[in-house]
Chain A
Amino acid sequence: MMAAVADEIAGVEGRGRYRALVARRLLMLSGLIAALFLSVAVDMALGPANYPLADVLTALFNSGAVSDQLRVVIWDIRMPIALMAVTVGASLSVAGAQMQTILANPLASPFTLGISAAAGFGAALGLVAGVAVFPVAVQYMVPLNAFLMAMLAALFIHFASTMRGVTVETIVLLGIALVFTFNAALSLLEYLASEQALAAVVFWTMGSLTKATWPKVWITAAVLAFAAPLFARHAWALTALRLGDDKAASFGINVRRLRLETMLIVSLLAAIPVSFVGTVGFVGLVGPHIARMLVGEDQRFFLPASVLCGALLLSTTSVVSKMIIPGAVLPIGIITALVGVPFFFVLIFTNRRRAW
């Protein structure tokens, strides 16, 4: 159709440059995968006893060739923690990425919508008052409380956003209101708590990977594996959402439905990790921003990059948390920002392109 008109003017070939851009991005993703693999291996090498990286790799790929002790330490003790860092970081980062996308707000993250704050309150309810939101065996009470409160907050936001006249800005404001409400409720519980319970709540809200077990790793990984293809299927539509609602609708996208569907999946992605490892801030906010600066916002690259950046961020954080005080593992929630912020600053100040 355009050929005849376009023939008037000789155009520069954009095709080649686009293919080169895609190749650069694939290279970037490969680099992130390699860095993540290295970080996970180092994470498993460090601990009360430090092992050479070569021994760790042998234990991973040829476990018969290493001592039983090393095999147990790597596979049963350190690997769940190292992989929990990966799955939690990835889930929170993707959740943040899609929240930022559907709410058109660079500050959106599992925190902004009050999901983490709700989880913290749910956990405290169990730790301080021994109240189970849903009666189960006592060892699951805290994570289940956290999860149910997080989902409650998410569903509140979800149904609020289906109401007529509720805009994207209103949703963000509602989320912030939830953050304050749950934080106030949490403070009240802390004020009333015994010293022992208070310590438990404070530790929980700092976030720690030491609570990781294989089943928790599998559940988080399964939720991520369920969510990622759903987002991937809508990759073009989600990217188009960033051009504004009117433009996206003009592309034939059912904006309202896409936003609601995404919100539901995001709620699950954000609630599960937080209920297992406690409040891990920052990754959900900054992971997607780093991904955006590296590969842009085409979701075909942005989605995997968000997964990898979040995973890498939390995995390196896990490494650092073991290195600051030898022999001690600091709660990861404390370290996340300390590791991420310098890297984030470097990216902001060296990136020539606008990042939002």
Chain B
Amino acid sequence: MVALRLDAVGATYGRRTVLSNINTGELKGGRLTAVIGPNAAGKSTLFKRIAGLAAGPGLVHLSDTAKGPETICYMPQDTGANAVLTVYESVLLSAKQGSGWKVKDDELAEIDRVLAALRIDDLAFRGLGELSGGQRQLVSIAQALVRKPEVLLMDEPTSALDLFRQIEVLGFMKRLSAQSGMAVLIALHDLNHALRYCDDTIVISSGSVAASGPTETVITADMLKSVYRVEARVEACSLGRPVIIVDDSIPVR
């Protein structure tokens, strides 16, 4: 099974250093890892750096069993495409990069499977421009999944989704990673989702790692206070699961 490890990874845009000295333990396949942190902390940049789309020092180690660096797939935040393409074509486009013009039946079958799994097969022949933000986000996930990555970096995949779809997508990713052995890193803003679905959590703050480890040990009242500047409690609900109860924000001095 694939494993990913970051060793003193940094990222720079021109002369500006956005990330520095990011170290992680083994991020193993079959597990969901939440990447959390305030806005502009460097979460997207970290993903781009891991996927080789941003420059910087340090090493991204992939286990020997991995197919190669191209097995890492970065799913960017939705950018609102206005291309005159159907959903089906846009997913095919992702699957066919770097290969010839001819489209085989099994390639189309795979697209059918992914669209059905995400329950967007009814949108298949709609134009991208006709979709809502949430629908586009689901299409984006489909585009990532047809590339069959071993490491998937999802940049806020649930930000435009309604509550039902958020839960559906996160649950689906958890089952998928467990079954396929894919390592999934998800940038999230909803920390209760991280507590519920993610095995591990990495907290990024001002371009470096503020905390990392099993989610329940990382998302604590102290971390919320120091990183997010909120007064909050992490308590067990009636089912015994930890939930965050926010009391107040800490005023900026």
Contacts and interface: CB of A to CB of B under 8 A. Distances in A.
A243 B93 contact: yes
Interface in B170-205: 172, 175-176, 179-180, 182
Interface stretch (B30-38, B111-119, B209-217, B236-244): B111-119
Interface string B22-64: 0000000000000000000000000000010100000000000
Interface in B80-112: 80-86, 88-90, 92-94, 96-99, 101, 103, 105, 108-112
B172 to A, nearest CB: 7
Interface stretch (B1-9, B68-76, B225-233): B68-76
A131 to B, nearest CB: 43
Contact of A236 (B97, B129, B182): B97
A304 B207 CA distance: 47
Nearest to A241: B83
Interface string A1-37: 1111110111111110111011000000000000000
A41 to B, nearest CB: 31
Interface stretch (B120-128, B159-167, B245-253): B120-128
A250 B73 CA distance: 7
B145 interface: yes
A236 B116 contact: no
Given A6-B117, A247-B76, A298 B85 contact: yes
Q: Interface SS of chain B: helix, strand, loop or mixed?
A: helix
Given A12-B121, A14-B108, A15-B112, A250 B84 contact: no
Given A11-B121, A296-B85, A296-B86, A164 B112 contact: no
B79 A247 contact: yes
B235 interface: no
Contacts of A243: 79, 81, 83, 85, 90, 93, 128
A1 B148 contact: yes
Interface in B121-154: 121-122, 124-125, 127-130, 140, 143-145, 147-148
A2 B109 contact: no
Interface of A: 1-6, 8-15, 17-19, 21-22, 164, 232, 235-237, 239-240, 242-244, 246-247, 249-253, 292-293, 296-298, 300, 353-356
